[in-house]
A and B are shown apart, each in its own frame.
Chain A
Amino acid sequence: MLNIKRSDFEVILAHCRSGLPNEACGMLGGRNGSVEKVYPMRNAKPGPDYYEMDAEEQFRVMKDIRESGFELIGLFHSHPTGQAYPSSVDIAQAYWPGTELPNYPDAVYMIVSLMDRARPVARGFSIEEGRVQEVKLSVI
């Protein structure tokens, strides 16, 4: 389970909406299954069906997470027109190229569907070796 404060969840939703019609992305720092800091990030290759974090921003954020005493516990992105479920591209990109070794095995992949703009749907998943499993999101 991944615990997210209501105010942090609103930051994630606002960032996903601000990216429309393109996908939006970001990272979640925290510990013990609770999000402590949301990092809305730039989509370096924006498209309605694609995101790629800016490499330099990614490095800076990962450093900030470490230096804040947190861990990278989540990665979020939006699906402006798709379901809140990892796409085949999401799954392929979660692995080291050419392998089934997960790049960020401890991170929950949170996907925000904006198919219904008025009613976003957010779900969390772990993507481990060859397996996608839902991780419950608890907004507190």
Chain B
Amino acid sequence: MIKVRIPTPLQKLTNGKAEVECSAKTVAELVDVLDKDYPGMKDRLSEGGKIRRFINIYVNEEDIRFVNKEETSLKDGDAISIVPAIAGGNWNSTSSQLAASSASEYDYI
């Protein structure tokens, strides 16, 4: 069996379970198997057959992007971690929104 660590935002789909077990030969197959057991999982994890950007999947400790992506092989005893990326930035920032909103206020005056 393969152990899959489920991140908090997906635990609603697994009835609160933080770890589930399943069998699959590749990451792509794992997504299908998880979706069968926990409907909605496929849509959360992938888009058009590809793992969503900003979702990191690790087989044991390796990021699948540096192995074989969705086709990364899995074997009995593997531990899978699904981890949302951490990103952000000041693009379209609050300050520019504030600047924009005061500019539009100014337009009305």
* Interface residues contributed by chain B, number (CB under 8 Å): 33
If the complex has contacts A23-B89, A55-B56, A101-B12, are A87 and B94 also in contact, measured as CB distance less than 8 A?
yes
A96 CA to B16 CA, complexed, in Å: 16
A41 CA to B95 CA, complexed, in Å: 25
Number of A-B contacts (CB under 8 A): 120
CB of A75 closer than 8 Å to a CB of B? yes
Q: Which residue of B lies closest to A53 (CB)?
A: B86
CB of A86 closer than 8 Å to a CB of B? yes
Contacts of A105 in B (CB 8 A): 8-9
* A49-B63 in contact (CB<8A): no
* B94-A83 in contact (CB<8A): yes
Q: Which residue of A lies closest to B54 (CB)?
A: A97
A70 CA to B25 CA, complexed, in Å: 34
Give per-residue flags for A94-122: 1 if the beta carbon is below 8 A from chain B beta carbons, else 0.
11111101111110000000000000000
If the complex has contacts A59-B83, A87-B88, are A79 and B93 also in contact, measured as CB distance less than 8 A?
yes
Binding site for B on A (CB under 8 A): 23, 25, 27, 45, 47-53, 55-56, 58-60, 62-63, 75, 77, 79-83, 85-90, 93-99, 101-106
Binding site for A on B (CB under 8 A): 7-10, 12, 43-44, 52-56, 58, 61, 63, 65-66, 81, 83-97
